[in-house]
Amino acid sequence: MSFSRSVGIVLTLASFACMLGTTVAADKPAAQAAARATEQAPALLPQQFGGWQRQGSPLISTDPAAADPTNAAVLKEYRFSDLASSTYTRDDGRTLKIRAARFADASGAFGAYTFYLQPGMAKEQIGDQAASAGQRVLFYRGHVLVDAQFSQESAMSVAQLRELAGALPRPSGNSGNLPSFIEFMPHRDYIANTQKYVMGPAALSAQAPPISADLVDFNASAEVSLAHYNTSSGEATLMLISYPTPQLAAEHLRRIDAARQIAQPKPGGSGTSTVGSPAPFLDRRTGPIVAIATGPASDSDTKSLLGMVNWEASVTWNTPTDNQQARDLYKLILNIVVLCGILGGLAIVAGVAFGGIRIMMKRWYPDKVFDRPEQMEFISLRLTETVVKGVPRSGTESGRPTP
């Protein structure tokens, strides 16, 4: 092997080692930053609340499989952040097991709450929404979902969990807002605890939807809400799909209708369906929302259910924002307006004061302070106009002979 080839191999290996070291060095700060962000986040569970005392340190994990191995993909779609699990005890020997899952925003916590909510649960007044089934209580507050399991129920269990809900960390800014399109879900004839809020295909496939996740197209920032309703002819399922713009909603509605035409059985054969459910359904668009109704209900009841979904545009001027640049620009403009107001006020005050003092001094001390004759300098041009009347001239000069 020649010397030049040896040098080339050594330089290549050195370059590869440098690149590998740079990659590791770049990944290490990112991992450290993520770890610091997790450590700086407020603790999920308090040391004590309502007479309950925590035993030992809570079990903390950022893996959604630790919260629910079966539905880890669903929790990931809801932007799961971290989990804290602890056991609490009281002096009377009762125990309480609590699992608290934190999400990126309130929408994720609300979606996870609806995912685990069962129709047979009883409604409770805890946090933002709550339901119970025997010794188990499920509720969410802000961006935290709590699953509490009592060893023995008591009359004060709900009140004690309210105290826990008040001690949970709260999201900041817009992350505490729920999706606005769920407000267009009809309330009449709604079957309790059947609403599901979906943010991804894994959660959608668990709900037996009328159409597949491919037609919904979550890559277009779509959000889905499903609920069941009682009608005079049977139970119906209503599905709302929200898109960022009405144009996207119209485009996806055309795709859904085209897929439904393909899925319809043809004479002499059976069509292959690309729609999630073989049951027929009706659909319509209202603004950026596509509404789909299906079920054993009659067409008239299904159309009536769809007719209750009406999107109306609303403009909100006081929506808070987390954009620091927008906040800085707002503060700058506000300070400029305030400064202009202050300078304008000072100018008015100074003008009134100067004019008032001048008038008072001229009234009290005329021709002594202001407008004194020796200080008055006025240049005038005395222009006068002299009118000269004409004198009759001699006859020769006038052109007529003198008599």
Q: Which two tokens stand for residue 75?
A: 């929790």
Residue 349 CA: distances (Å) to CA of 267, 269, 283, 346, 360: 90, 91, 67, 5, 16
Instruction: Compare 373 and 46 and report the one with higher pLDDT.
Output: 46
Does residue 175 register a pLDDT over 50? yes
Distance between CA atoms of residues 296 and 302, nearest Å:
9
Q: What is the pLDDT of residues 54-85, one digit of tens each?
A: 999 999 999 999 999 999 999 999 999 999 99
pLDDT at position 238: 96
Distance between CA atoms of residues 182 and 225, nearest Å:
7
pLDDT at position 365: 76
Instruction: Compare 18 and 140 and report the one with higher pLDDT.
Output: 140
- What percentage of the chain exceeds 70 in pLDDT? 74
> Residue 208, SS3?
coil
Return mean pLDDT, the chain: 82
Q: What is the pLDDT of residues 102-137, one digit of tens each?
A: 999 999 999 999 999 999 999 999 999 999 999 999
pLDDT at position 166: 93
Confidence of residue 232 (pLDDT cuts 50, 70, 90): very high
Distance between CA atoms of residues 351 and 335, nearest Å:
24
Query: Which residues are bridge partners to 259 per DSSP?
Result: none
Confidence of residue 243 (pLDDT cuts 50, 70, 90): very high
Confidence of residue 153 (pLDDT cuts 50, 70, 90): confident
- Torsion angle of the four alpha carbons 165, 170, 173, 176, in this order, in degrees rounded to the nearest 10: -40
DSSP 271: P
Instruction: Compare 347 and 327 and report the one with higher pLDDT.
Output: 347
Does residue 199 register a pLDDT over 60? yes
Count of CA atoms in the C-beta half-sphere (13 A) of 309: 28
> Which of 227-236, 302-311, 350-359 is predicted least confidently?
350-359
Confidence of residue 154 (pLDDT cuts 50, 70, 90): confident
pLDDT at position 40: 62
Q: Which residue has the tokens 């009659």?
A: 298
Please state the rounded mean pLDDT for residues 231-248: 95
